[in-house]
A and B are shown apart, each in its own frame.
Chain A
Amino acid sequence: MGMTITEKILCNHTKHREVRPGMIINARVDIALGNDITAPIAISEFRKAGGKKVFNRSKVVLVADHFTPNKDISSAMQTKTVRDFAREQRLEHYYEGGDAGVEHALLPEKGIVLPGDLVIGADSHTCTYGALGAFSTGVGSTDLAAAMMTGEVWLRVPESMKIVYHGKLQKWISGKDLILDLIGRIGVYGALYKSLEFTGSTVAKLTMADRLTMANMAIEAGGKSGIFPPDEVTRVYVEERAKRKFVFYESDPDARYAEVIDIDVSKIEPQVSFPSLPSNARGVSKAGKVKIDQVVIGSCTNGRIEDLRVAAKILKGKKAAPYVRLIIIPATPLIYKTAMDEGLFDIFLKANALISPPTCGPCLGGHMGILAEGERAVATTNRNFVGRMGHTGSEVYLASPAVAAASAVLGRIGGPAELK
């Protein structure tokens, strides 16, 4: 019997000749990732267990991106712990300050994660790299500590759920709309413990940016991972970045799926997820009159150059509505520079936007745009839980860069079609 792409990648990182859903395996790790919040615990556990040297100084990646630029003394102390460890271990990949970007935008951009890899990260959105055809999943700090010591991770082989997209995308529809729509359909635990495999004729037309956005939010449906079978789009993206070999895997025709969901994308309109679960998705035409105080365009979900270009297209010659704070956060230094070179910053600044250095910042209510009680934000981020971006009495509405930019101009939730 055949295996899915996920089962094949997992299998090839073990001694087994075959793996099946439900099996618990010890798998070799190609990349183990941590950030300024999760790495300090991993470093402490690593040392407590007698760890002296990481298993491979090229395969442990640490990125200071959550509370950076350090927002207070405690955050600075945490980042210092990570920096000192990176220096002591002579890690090839440590990113902070002007080198650092939002980790899940940075690692694919730099070619650190590649197709066929097995990646773990002490950050729930590590599932992003499934866009490249890698198995990639979020774990905890103790898992990271163990992987830093042994180069291995324990995993339960997940069942796979196949999503088959077909039909033509409407104008302004992006990967963000597709994934919010899917989470709306299956719920926040609709893919619990499972791997989401994105396939179908529409997928070939999705850009790498769209795929990264979709795989990024697999966790928001409870998924262990999300994965796109690698194709020509993958090859073009990876070939100019890879500095080591990579492998394209594909599912066997007789691979088994726990569920197959067929989706006609031609009926999907721009989506908005209402508070306080990503699954509260609805079409923007059914949003009603929701006045807003802030718009955030950025994050590991939607802070890539393609996202900023869409926002610029909508914001060109327009201004954010009075009393609406528009915060734009290019996710990496390269994205920042590209946006500046392309003249997007001029458009943003004329639209009264604030341009932030790369950081996770407001997405998790860290800094750089915290909400007061009663305030509402439209954000291109990934979570709208109670208190996610600030006060427990504030609200976050998730949407694409197109809807976020249009909403900033309108001063209420709305789609680009409403702008003249």
Chain B
Amino acid sequence: MKYRGNVWKFGDNIDTDAIIPARYLNTSDPKALAAQCMKDADPDFAKKMKAGDIIVAGVNFGCGSSREHAPIAIKAVGLSCVVARTFARIFFRNAFNMGLPIFESDELWAKVKNGDEIEIDTDKGEIRILSRKGKPVTFKPVAPFLQQLVASGGLMADVKARKAKAKKSSRA
């Protein structure tokens, strides 16, 4: 699997209030949330970004609230994935649970510039900055359990599949 897109670069500790401010949480409609994506970090972000673009952030991306509205807004606005040096833990599990691809790369952030085109190759486990020459950087391998979660289409699909399997075996 490959993700290719232009980079929107953000700093450290981008919190969920910046990703989707609480004042917009009186709805969980993905379209409405998408329109406010990253609003308090960059007011015009949702208008400026293009489908397939990629957020590259520093450490502790998604810190703060447990609101799943944050990964929902990022996915719904059309960003293909997020690469950060590290993720806050609730954002991390939310992303895997609801199917937003995220990658932890300590190296990429310092090397990439806003607007660069990058390509993430999940089979090879590397990220190339296409806008300029240089060696690809690596990202942290995804734990097998999480790979399975992604492969089955997120946590609820996984729960559904396990339930169906249990039903089948109880009949047998």
Which range holds the interface residue count of chain B? 35 or more
The residue that A189 contacts in the complex, of B65, B67, B88, B157, with Cβ under 8 A, is B88
A5-56 residues at the B interface, CB under 8 angstroms: 24, 37-38, 40-41, 44-45, 48-50
Interface centre among A71, A140, A143, A388, by most chain B C-beta atoms within 10 angstroms, is A140
Asked whether, in the complex, the Cβ of A124 is within 8 Å of the Cβ of B64, the reply is yes
A165-188 residues at the B interface, CB under 8 angstroms: 188
Asked whether, in the complex, the Cβ of B93 is within 8 Å of the Cβ of A139, the reply is yes
Interface-facing stretch out of B21-29, B116-124, B125-133:
B21-29
Asked whether, in the complex, the Cβ of A142 is within 8 Å of the Cβ of B65, the reply is no
B1-47 residues at the A interface, CB under 8 angstroms: 13, 15, 17-18, 21-23, 25-28, 40
- Residue B160 lies at the interface, judged by CB distance under 8 Å to chain A: yes
Residues of chain A touching chain B, judged by Cβ–Cβ distance below 8 Å, are 24, 37-38, 40-41, 44-45, 48-50, 66-67, 71-72, 74-75, 78, 121-124, 126, 138-143, 145-146, 149-150, 154, 188-189, 192-193, 219, 222, 224, 277, 364-366, 383, 385-388, 392
**Residue numbers in B under 8 Å from A188 (CB-CB):** 13, 60, 63
Asked whether, in the complex, the Cβ of A383 is within 8 Å of the Cβ of B64, the reply is yes
Asked whether, in the complex, the Cβ of A141 is within 8 Å of the Cβ of B17, the reply is no
Residues of chain B touching chain A, judged by Cβ–Cβ distance below 8 Å, are 13, 15, 17-18, 21-23, 25-28, 40, 59-60, 63-69, 72, 86, 88-90, 93-94, 97-98, 143, 145, 154-157, 159-160, 162-163
The residue that A364 contacts in the complex, of B22, B28, B59, B145, with Cβ under 8 A, is B22
Asked whether, in the complex, the Cβ of A385 is within 8 Å of the Cβ of B156, the reply is no
The residue that A387 contacts in the complex, of B17, B68, B155, B163, with Cβ under 8 A, is B17
A159 to nearest B CB, angstroms? Answer: 12
A1 to nearest B CB, angstroms? Answer: 23
Q: Is the interface of A mostly helix, strand, loop or mixed?
A: loop
Q: A140-B67, A192-B86 are in contact. List 7 more A-B contacts (CB 8 A).
A: A24-B143, A37-B67, A140-B93, A140-B94, A188-B13, A193-B89, A219-B90
Asked whether, in the complex, the Cβ of B159 is within 8 Å of the Cβ of A49, the reply is yes
Closest to B94 in A: A140
The residue that B97 contacts in the complex, of A66, A140, A385, A388, with Cβ under 8 A, is A140
The residue that A142 contacts in the complex, of B63, B86, B94, B143, with Cβ under 8 A, is B94
Q: How far is the CA of A139 from the CA of B155 in the complex (A)?
A: 13
Asked whether, in the complex, the Cβ of B66 is within 8 Å of the Cβ of A146, the reply is no
The residue that A192 contacts in the complex, of B21, B26, B88, B163, with Cβ under 8 A, is B88
**Residue numbers in A under 8 Å from B59 (CB-CB):** 189
A248 to nearest B CB, angstroms? Answer: 27
